[in-house]
Chains A and B, each alone.
Chain A
Amino acid sequence: MRLTNRQVIGWLEAAPLTLVLLAFLIAPIVMIVIVSFWGATEFSIYPAFQLDNYEFLFSSPVTYKVFGATLKYAFITWALTLAIGFTVAYFMAFHVRSQTVQIALFLVCTIPFWTSNIIRMISWIPFLGRNGIANQTLISWGVIDQPLEWLLYSDFSVILAFVHLYTLFMVVPIFNTMMRIDKSLLEAARDNGASGLQTLLHVILPLTKPGIMIGTIFVVTLVMGDFITVRFMSGSQRANVGRLISNDIGLLQYPSAAATAVVLLCTVLIVIAILLRFVNIRKEL
Chain B
Amino acid sequence: MEKRSRGFYVLAAFFGLFVLFLYGPILTIGILSFQGPQGGLTFPMNGVSTYWFRDLFQEQAVGDIWGAFRRSTMLGLMVMITTVVVSVMAGLAFRKRFAGSGVLFYAAITSLVIPSILISLGVGLIFNQLGLKIHWATSGFGAQLTWTLPFGLLIMFAVFNRFDKSYEEAARDQGATAWQTLRHVVLPIIAPSLIGVGLFGFTLSYDEFARTLLTSGSYNTLPLEIFGMTTNVTTPVIYALGTLTTAFSFAIIAAFLLGAWIMGKRRARLGSDAGKGL
A26–B119 CA distance with the chains assembled, in angstroms? 10
A172 to chain B, nearest CB (A): 8
Q: Is B78 an interface residue (CB 8 A)?
A: no
Q: Is A40 an interface residue (CB 8 A)?
A: no
A175 to chain B, nearest CB (A): 11
Q: Is B239 an interface residue (CB 8 A)?
A: yes
Among A6, A10, A272, find the residue whose CB has the most chain B CB atoms closer than 10 A: A10
Question: Would you call B112 and A221 a contact (CB within 8 A)?
Answer: yes
Task: Report which of A24, A164, A257 forms a contact with B119, defined as CB distance below 8 A.
Answer: A24
If A25-B107, A119-B239 touch, whether A32 touches B162 (CB-CB below 8 Å) is: no
Question: Would you call A91 and B12 a contact (CB within 8 A)?
Answer: yes
Contact-residue bracket for chain B: 35 or more
Question: Would you call A249 and B121 a contact (CB within 8 A)?
Answer: yes
Binds B, one of A48-56, A58-66, A100-108, A201-209: A100-108
**Contacts of B123 on A, CB cut-off 8 Å?**
24, 28
Contact-residue bracket for chain A: 35 or more
**Chain A interface residues toward B at CB < 8 A:** 6-7, 9-14, 16-18, 20-21, 23-29, 31-32, 35, 84, 87-88, 90-92, 95, 100, 103-105, 107-127, 129, 131-133, 136, 164, 167-168, 173, 176-177, 180, 196, 214, 217-218, 221, 224-228, 241-242, 245-246, 249, 254, 257-258, 261, 264-265, 268-269, 272, 276, 281-285
Beyond A107-B253, A245-B121, list 13 extra A-B contacts (CB 8 Å). Answer: A13-B92, A25-B119, A29-B122, A88-B15, A114-B246, A116-B242, A217-B109, A225-B116, A245-B117, A249-B121, A261-B118, A265-B115, A285-B158
- 12 CB-based A-B contacts, threshold 8 Å: A11-B100, A20-B145, A24-B143, A28-B121, A28-B125, A88-B18, A95-B8, A107-B256, A126-B42, A129-B42, A217-B109, A227-B210
